[in-house]
A = this chain, B = another copy of it.
């Protein structure tokens, strides 16, 4: 019996999440389900993939059930992937790919087509979280089926990849992107501390950060306590990426940051 970690864009205003828990409990009442988050913006595959990527290394090995599925009811495949971490179950639209890659790639991928492991829909096929993904995750977690039972085996490298933006470097500096704003207004970028160091910057330096047409001068510090309350800063966040934050403040509001925003770091003079 393995735990299921469940991530979606279902929100919690509707009963979608509860119904998925119900389907899992009907397969095996003793299964544990961890709700990773259901607050992924509706249909935002990249935001869901990044949340799963950030979370997976902290989740207990077992089954990851992830559903951000704007293509439900179209031809996209429903898949399960076996990895050294455990199983990943969800739509094959890029959502699973970064986390699967992070744990070492897929050893086997199947298309969830076997009707024995689906819940018959009362109508149309628009809630695959309930009808396809939840029962597949549950039988895998409960050890009631092997992944090969769930449907035809695909090529292990057949998972649809997700294109994530890379940092670009030129003579003037580097260009990156904000790819996560959290509730507290912290803005995680796709820039690593090594990227800054390659520009000739080091911790303690003031960094010239361009957002839109404005150049901000922010200290690159180790932790919030290194600046005065309310002040903005650059630091390596708890995932190892460069983030813009404000001590006891909201950097996203102060600097007008948004997810997907392009930012530049200027090479020091």
Known interface pairs A11-B39, A29-B32; A55-B122 also in contact (CB < 8 Å): no
Do A22 and B183 have beta carbons less than 8 Å apart?
no
Which residues of B have CB within 8 Å of A146?
none
A31-75, CB < 8 A from B: 32, 34-39, 42-43, 51, 54-55, 58-60, 70-75
Separation in Å of the A195 CB from the closest CB of chain B?
13
Q: Among B37, B39, B240, which residue has its beta carbon within 8 angstroms of that of A122? A: B240
Task: Report how far A180 CA is from B36 CA in the complex, Å.
Answer: 26
Task: Report how far A245 CA is from B123 CA in the complex, Å.
Answer: 14
In the complex, A206 has a CB within 8 A of chain B? no
What is the interface size of chain A, counting residues whose CB is below 8 A from a CB of the partner? 69
Separation in Å of the A236 CB from the closest CB of chain B?
4
Across the interface, name the chain B residue whose C-beta is closest to A50: B15
In the complex, A13 has a CB within 8 A of chain B? yes
Separation in Å of the A58 CB from the closest CB of chain B?
4
The A contact surface, by secondary structure, is loop
Across the interface, name the chain B residue whose C-beta is closest to A53: B15
In the complex, A84 has a CB within 8 A of chain B? no
In the complex, A222 has a CB within 8 A of chain B? yes
Do B7 and A18 have beta carbons less than 8 Å apart?
yes
Number of copies of this chain that the complex holds: 3
Q: Among B17, B72, B237, which residue has its beta carbon within 8 angstroms of that of A123? A: B237
Do A5 and B18 have beta carbons less than 8 Å apart?
yes
Q: Among B11, B16, B22, which residue has its beta carbon within 8 angstroms of that of A60? A: B22
A3-31, CB < 8 A from B: 3, 5, 7, 10-19, 21-23, 25-26, 29
Separation in Å of the A84 CB from the closest CB of chain B?
16
Which residues of B have CB within 8 Å of A222?
124
Which residues of B have CB within 8 Å of A55?
15, 18-19, 22
In the complex, A160 has a CB within 8 A of chain B? no
Candidate in A11, A19, A26, A43 with the most chain B CB atoms within 10 angstroms? A19
Given contacts A21-B34, A123-B238, 13 further A-B contacts (CB under 8 A): A3-B25, A13-B37, A13-B183, A14-B182, A15-B55, A18-B35, A18-B36, A29-B60, A71-B248, A123-B237, A123-B239, A124-B235, A126-B245
